[in-house]
Structure 1
C-alpha cells in the first residue's frame, strides 16, 4: 500500500489526521519543517505520539524546497496527499508576509507539481474561512464569491484554491480544498485564543479580548475536523455534472475540483466562548477589552450543506464540551 503523504504532520490538525490513518493501518509519511512560529517542543511532543507506530515515517523538510520535494515525491510515490503545511496566522502575516509567500505559494506549487508528476489519486489541502474576507452575508457558502481578502494570509489561501483548480483542469488531478473554521481542541496551537486564554488565566494574568468580546466565530472541534477530512480524502473530487459556465459556482467545476466548508454551523460570540472556558477552569478571567485587530474578520459562520451532501457529515460538537476537553488536555500536558 502506497502511503498517504501528510505535510505539516507536526501541526495540530496534521498530528490528529496521522493518528487516525495509522489506527487504520494506513502507512503515513509525514513532513514538517519544525519552524519556530510557536513552541517547537509542542511540535516534537505531537511527533512523539506518532513515532512509535511502525507505519509512520517522519521527514524534516520545508515544502518550499523544490528539489527536496521533488526527490521526496519520487521516493515515496504517495497514493494520496493531505496538504496541511502552511504559514498560519492572520496577524503574523501583516508583519512577516515573506513567510507566507514562501510556504503558502511556492510550497503549494511544489505540492501540485509532485501530485502531477506522480499521478496522485487525490490532493486534499487546507484552505481557510479567512478567504471570505469582507463578505457579510451569513452563513458563508462555497457558492459565494471570495474576491476580497482582508489579510495576506487569506489571499494566499484563495490563491491555493485557484492554483489547485488550474492543475485539476490541465492535468486531471482530483483536488479538494477544505475551508476550516476556527479549529480548537487538545494539542491545539499556542497562538490561538483558547490556548492563550487558558495559559493566561491559569497564570493569574489578564486576557486581551479583541473586538470588545463581540466577535463571532464558528468554533469547530478537532475531532469533527478530522472526521470531515478523512471522509473527503476517501472520496476524490469529480467534475460537477451540473456545472454551468454561464453561472459558475466557485465551489465546483467542470474539472475534478471541489471546495467545502468544515465548520460547526453554530456561530458563537467570543464572550460566550470565554464563559465556557471560565466554567471549565472554575475561575473568572481578568479581561482587557480591546478593539478588533487589523486583518481580523468580525464574524464567521459556515454553511456546511455541501459537505453533508458530499460525504454525509456535518460537525456538531457543542462548544462547552469541546472547551472542557481542551482544558482537561492542557492541565494534563502542562501539569497545572
Structure 2
C-alpha cells in the first residue's frame, strides 16, 4: 500500500486530496499546523472527517521546522509528497510578506531536502494562477512570462517553483507543479469569495465586492482539482500545468447563481478594486490534458449548486464560522 505525505492536509484542497487518496486505499500521512489564517474550526471539521479513515495518520506540525519534518520522514517510508501547505491570500500577503517567505519558500525547501535525503520518488507542489500577474493575454499558458507577480503571495509561490526545478535538476526528483485556478466547493475556505457570499447572503448580511463585479475568474471545483492532483503522482520528470475550468465567468454571475439557489437577494457593498487583484484569469489546460488526460467535469452551475447544497446541509455546523 503506497505511503503518501500530504502537507496542508486539513486545508481545503488538502482535505479533498487526502479523501480521494484514502478512498483509493493509500496510506496518507497528513501534516498541518492548523493555523488561524482563517477560522480553524472548519479545519477541525475536515480533519475529523479524515480521521474516520484507518489509513490516515496525522501530525500537527509546521513545515517551517526542518528537524521535526525529518523525524516524520525517518519514521515512515514515504514514497511521494504532495505539498499543499501554504500561506494563501493575495491581499493578506501585502500586509505580512514575512509569513509567506517562511512557509511558502523556506517550508518548500525543507520538504525538498527531505525528499532528496530520504529517497522520495515524486514531489507534487501546488502553485497558483496568481503567478501570471496582470496580463491581457488570455488564456494563461504555462509558457507565459511569470516574472512580474503583483504581491508577495505569488512572488513566494514563483520562488518555490524555481527551487523545485533546481532540486529536480540536481537530484533527479520527479517534480510536478499544478497551478490552481480559484478553487471552490464543499468545505471551502471561509476567507474566499464563494463561501463568504453564500453564508452572508443566507444570513441576510451585506457582501463586499471589490471593483465592478465584472472581473472574471476561472472557478474550478475542488473535486476536479483533487482528481488531477492525485493523477500527477504518476508523472515523471519536471512538469508544470494549469488546473482550471477553462471557462472564466464574471463574479456577478456567480453571485446571481447563489441568489437564485438560496432564494435570497444579495446586499452588495461596492469597494474599489485592490491593486494586487488580477482582473481576469483563464487557464489553458492543454498540458493537463496531454500529461494526465484531465479535463474538469463540473460546470460552474453544477459546482455552485453542489456547494450551496452542502452549505444548507451543514448550516448548523457552519453558523459560528468566522468569515
Please name the residue that 1:270 is paired with: 251
Q: TM-score scaled to structure 2, two decimals?
A: 0.96
Alignment partners' CA distance in 2, 1:4 and 1:186: 23
Please name the residue that 2:153 is paired with: 153
Report if the CA contact (8 A) 2:235-2:291 is conserved.
no
Where do residues 173-212 of structure 1 align in structure 2 (5 Å cutoff)? 173-212=173-212
* 1:54 Cα offset (Å): 1.2
Please name the residue that 1:139 is paired with: 139
Report if the CA contact (8 A) 2:224-2:298 is conserved.
yes
Please name the residue that 1:219 is paired with: 219
Alignment partners' CA distance in 2, 1:323 and 1:332: 14
* 1:2 Cα offset (Å): 4.5
Report if the CA contact (8 A) 2:6-2:83 is conserved.
yes
Q: Secondary structure at the match of 2:5?
A: strand
Please name the residue that 1:249 is paired with: none
Mapped pair 1:28 → 2:28: yes
**Alignment: residue pair count:** 317
Report if the CA contact (8 A) 2:10-2:34 is conserved.
yes
Mapped pair 1:318 → 2:317: no
- CA RMSD between the two structures: 1.1
* 1:218 Cα offset (Å): 0.1
Identify the range of structure 1 (309-318 vs 268-277) with the bigger mean alpha-carbon deviation: 309-318
Mapped pair 1:280 → 2:266: no
Identify the range of structure 1 (104-113 vs 284-293) with the bigger mean alpha-carbon deviation: 284-293
Please name the residue that 2:235 is paired with: 236
Alignment partners' CA distance in 2, 1:287 and 1:135: 27
Alignment partners' CA distance in 1, 2:261 and 2:175: 39
Please name the residue that 1:78 is paired with: 78
Residues 36-82 of structure 1, C-alpha deviations (whole Å, 9 max, x = no match): 11111110110111112111100000000011111111112310001
Q: Structure 1 unaligned runs (5+)?
A: 238-255
Q: Structure 2 unaligned runs (5+)?
A: none
* 1:294 Cα offset (Å): 2.7
Mapped pair 1:333 → 2:314: yes
Alignment partners' CA distance in 1, 2:134 and 2:166: 25
Mapped pair 1:40 → 2:40: yes
Q: TM-score scaled to structure 1, two decimals?
A: 0.92
Please name the residue that 1:95 is paired with: 95
